[in-house]
Chains A and B, each alone.
Chain A
């Protein structure tokens, strides 16, 4: 394979195959990166050599500099561009950049077509490791509620042209200073670092922080962090770790939605299993089974979700319908696949794994082996089960999601009972509750965009805590009222809360003592 030349513009259409092979070395990542770059409508790319990547340089000084093998200090950075109408990043434009004055308009046009970059870190031989990568995510869609909330702006400079990309930093594990867990946490820190103003450690520093309290573990080569060690690293950067085991898919959706809506990334522990497909003699699928022996314990970072084609929650025995149950998929940074990989909730029945009955997630993972010993059996894909969620929280977020659900459940029940007893009407369908964490600035920003409603002025003038839990009651697809809980409070003696009414019938009912 003839190597790419640096500082030359290549057409993605002509060179995609060679480029994907160059970046991923024909691994599991190849199809994932190929699909992502195609979906982003990549038109051209350019390679930059001798790039100094801060994260790699720290990892280099922590480990690679003291190896006998002469590891390179510098990286390669590949920039990607799409095309808008006739404007593209071409050889002519590159020539124009180097020989003419670049107008403000041209700079803005270049920024508009910029899709992000991939850094390739030096490794042994010709195989490179994917380093810090910031690629544009798929378009957000309000209609389908497809949101990538755990992202931020990254500022890039190419030949003096300032470029901005909204993303979450991604990279691949090097299997020495960082495994999947260190990388998942590094991606999460890249967002929380900006949000909560803490230092963003490099992958090797994340590993060092995580095992700083475990005297029995050695730093490098690292063999994978535990959830406990991840929690230690979160504490060391000044945040509070929240470790949760989701009870079922409904609980999982509620938790992902509640924290992600506030822009907080979630480190997610997964159990990955191969799916065994059993066929008859005519290659028709008889049934699918989960191969329990093929389990791998993997960590990814959740950064977005989608409600596309999601269905309304039904009245469960807990008497509360969650808006979040409409979620059909969520997006993760999986260091062994690619950025913004989709994980979809299965539409089928719950499956039996060991003695558990669980609803699995479909993934882009291919099975470890496709040919099996027995006839009419094959493996093609992997499914996932979420086993743990590790959430890096700002220390002032003290009230948990579970506390808010219990409080909301009580208020909702009381309200429905009042409605039935006073108005004498049987309520067929109770409220759908949209429960999430929010910063007060975002809450007021939303309120200010509403046209006039009663108490709007009072709400905007009122003083609230920095972080609030919002429980919004929806009926007939319309917002009826909401409860704003102080997330920084103590739950002893009841959580401090305020009500906002958008419906007079409800407001009147609340007034009755």
Chain B
């Protein structure tokens, strides 16, 4: 009888945890409030500590920095004339 109770308890606990995990997983794309170690509460506190002018300065500084570090990579190369004019053939 005691063993059955333990089994029932373990099974119920496992089922409960599985259900909880399932619901947490289901809710994944919903309210996430942490990123790179900062929670939304902490973020709000930091933002509140700045004056509007300071925020504006930091935003424009970020814009400047990102333009400065932007790299011009060529992601789409055109086919060379040789590749355009060369016929596909039977594999030797």
With A247-B75, A296-B92 known as contacts, the answer to whether A451 contacts B29 (CB < 8 A) is: yes
A420 to B38, CA, bound (A): 11
Most chain A CB atoms below 10 A, which of B39, B84, B87: B87
Interface residues in A361-377 (C-beta closer than 8 Å to B): 365, 368
For residue A468, CB closer than 8 A to chain B, the reply is: no
Q: Mark B56-92, 1 if CB is under 8 A from A, else 0.
A: 1011011101110111011111111001111111111
Which residues on the B side are within 8 Å of A506 (C-beta)?
35
Residues A504 and B33 in contact, CB atoms below 8 Å apart: yes
- Knowing that A402-B76, A502-B30 are A-B contacts, what are 17 other residue pairs whose CB atoms are under 8 Å apart, sorted by A's residue number? A173-B90, A180-B91, A181-B88, A243-B84, A245-B78, A319-B69, A387-B83, A401-B76, A402-B75, A414-B62, A414-B66, A418-B59, A423-B38, A502-B29, A503-B35, A505-B34, A505-B43
A453 to B87, CA, bound (A): 53
With A223-B87, A297-B88 known as contacts, the answer to whether A508 contacts B43 (CB < 8 A) is: yes
Q: Which B residues have a C-beta under 8 Å from some C-beta of A? A: 26-40, 43-44, 46-47, 50, 55-56, 58-59, 61-63, 65-67, 69-71, 73-80, 83-92
Residues A368 and B83 in contact, CB atoms below 8 Å apart: no
Which residues on the B side are within 8 Å of A480 (C-beta)?
32, 35
Which residues on the B side are within 8 Å of A179 (C-beta)?
88-90
Residues A228 and B75 in contact, CB atoms below 8 Å apart: no
Q: Which A residues have a C-beta under 8 Å from some C-beta of B? A: 173, 175, 179-181, 184, 223-228, 243-247, 251, 254, 269, 272, 294, 296-299, 317-319, 336, 365, 368, 382, 387-388, 400-402, 405-406, 409-410, 413-414, 416-425, 427-428, 450-454, 475-476, 478-480, 502-506, 508-509, 512-513
Which residues on the B side are within 8 Å of A365 (C-beta)?
91
A244 to B76, CA, bound (A): 6
A421 to B37, CA, bound (A): 15
With A409-B70, A503-B32, A503-B33 known as contacts, the answer to whether A226 contacts B76 (CB < 8 A) is: no
Residues B46 and A423 in contact, CB atoms below 8 Å apart: yes
Closest to B25 in A: A451
Partner of A413, one of B30, B40, B66, B92: B66
With A319-B71, A410-B66 known as contacts, the answer to whether A400 contacts B91 (CB < 8 A) is: no
In the complex, what's the smallest C-beta–C-beta distance from B22 to chain A, in angstroms? 12
Which residues on the A side are within 8 Å of B66 (C-beta)?
410, 413-414, 416-417
A422 to B60, CA, bound (A): 11
Which residues on the A side are within 8 Å of B56 (C-beta)?
513
With A423-B46, A475-B35 known as contacts, the answer to whether A410 contacts B70 (CB < 8 A) is: yes
Partner of A512, one of B37, B47, B73: B47
Residues A297 and B89 in contact, CB atoms below 8 Å apart: yes
**23 A-B pairs in the complex with CB atoms less than 8 angstroms apart:** A179-B88, A184-B88, A224-B90, A225-B88, A243-B78, A245-B80, A387-B83, A405-B75, A413-B65, A418-B59, A421-B58, A422-B55, A422-B59, A453-B30, A502-B30, A503-B33, A505-B39, A506-B35, A508-B47, A509-B43, A512-B47, A512-B55, A513-B56
Residues A226 and B71 in contact, CB atoms below 8 Å apart: no
A401 to B47, CA, bound (A): 35
Which residues on the B side are within 8 Å of A401 (C-beta)?
75-76
Residues B87 and A226 in contact, CB atoms below 8 Å apart: yes
Residues B47 and A224 in contact, CB atoms below 8 Å apart: no
Which residues on the B side are within 8 Å of A387 (C-beta)?
83
Closest to B63 in A: A414
Closest to A424 in B: B46
Residues B88 and A269 in contact, CB atoms below 8 Å apart: yes
With A226-B85, A269-B88, A453-B30 known as contacts, the answer to whether A504 contacts B40 (CB < 8 A) is: yes
